[in-house]
Amino acid sequence: MSKEANKIVKVNEVSAATPSTLSTYIDRTVETLKFSVSTINIPKEAFGAIVTTLILLVLGLLLIIGNLSNSLNQQTSQFKEFYINTESTVDYQSHVILSDYIKTIGNIVLTEKSQDKPEKSAMIRAMTQATLQELDPERRRYVVMFLSDMNLLKNSSKKQLPLLFGASIAGAKLQGLDLRSANFQGTNLTSVDLRGADLRGANFKNAILTNACYDKLTLFNKGFVPNTMGMKEVLENKKCYPS
């Protein structure tokens, strides 16, 4: 076997036996470069300078890659920080909106029978629907709970629009709530979680119940068939995906 063939075998053996790390990668590169250069007639005094130059080029390339990686990591970190700050701001704003709504409606209702006046009823309905549009599904639950506790969701014999007529509480998590005789006429209840809720006497006329969740613990009016309304039965340990 020729000397050159022996050199090739030795280089390959070193490559196969050595772990793939940065230092061994550089060593293999240098050995390969030495072999390649040795096959070329280059003055001995220039050999060291060429190898040094090539090593510097490799190190420079690695340094550039390292700097790009650090820059990318910094940008990713800044983006995450911006996202967290933005999310916190939105969360705080939603909290303020919900708190202001509860305080305002509470003051109106506590005024002696003021909610029975047509102009007060219209104000409550407008504020409720505007607030629901600004809130996420989780906070929509608290609006419905508040209205139910204040007896503002009950079916009324008065000739006035229901409080949630035309409103959207899509995706709200209403599981386990006592919503007996609640008036959901004309309300968008898409993907609302109603598992375990008591809905006896509730008014769902013209309501949208597509993909609303229920289970065996959900109580409906006799004769009410949830599947015909587009609702879906979901076990308690499963997730009811909001819209």
* Residues 83-110 pLDDT 10s: 555 557 768 888 899 999 999 998 888 7
pLDDT for the residue numbered 146: 93
Mean pLDDT of the chain: 79
Residue 232 backbone zone (phi > 0: left; psi -120 to 50: alpha; other: beta): beta
Match 């007639």 to its residue by tokens.
41
Task: Describe the crossing of helices 44-110 and 22-38 by its angle, rounded to 10 degrees.
Answer: 150
Q: How far apart are CA 196 and CA 217, in angstroms?
A: 5
Q: How far apart are CA 99 and CA 17, in angstroms?
A: 68
- In this predicted structure, the answer to whether residue 13 has a pLDDT above a threshold of 90 is no
- In this predicted structure, the answer to whether residue 130 has a pLDDT above a threshold of 80 is yes
- In this predicted structure, the answer to whether residue 15 has a pLDDT above a threshold of 70 is no
Residue 220 CB contacts under 8 Å (≥ 6 apart), including other chains: 199, 200, 202, 214, 226
Higher pLDDT, 50 or 87: 50
For residue 11, what pLDDT band results from cuts at 50, 70 and 90? Answer: very low
26 and 55 in contact (C-beta within 8 Å)? yes
- In this predicted structure, the answer to whether residue 17 has a pLDDT above a threshold of 50 is no
108 and 124 in contact (C-beta within 8 Å)? yes
The string of pLDDT tens digits covering residues 208-238 is 999 999 999 999 999 999 999 999 999 888 8
The string of pLDDT tens digits covering residues 144-198 is 999 999 889 987 756 678 899 999 999 999 999 999 999 999 999 999 999 999 9
Of the candidates 182, 186, 99, which has an alpha carbon nearest to the alpha carbon of residue 147? Answer: 182
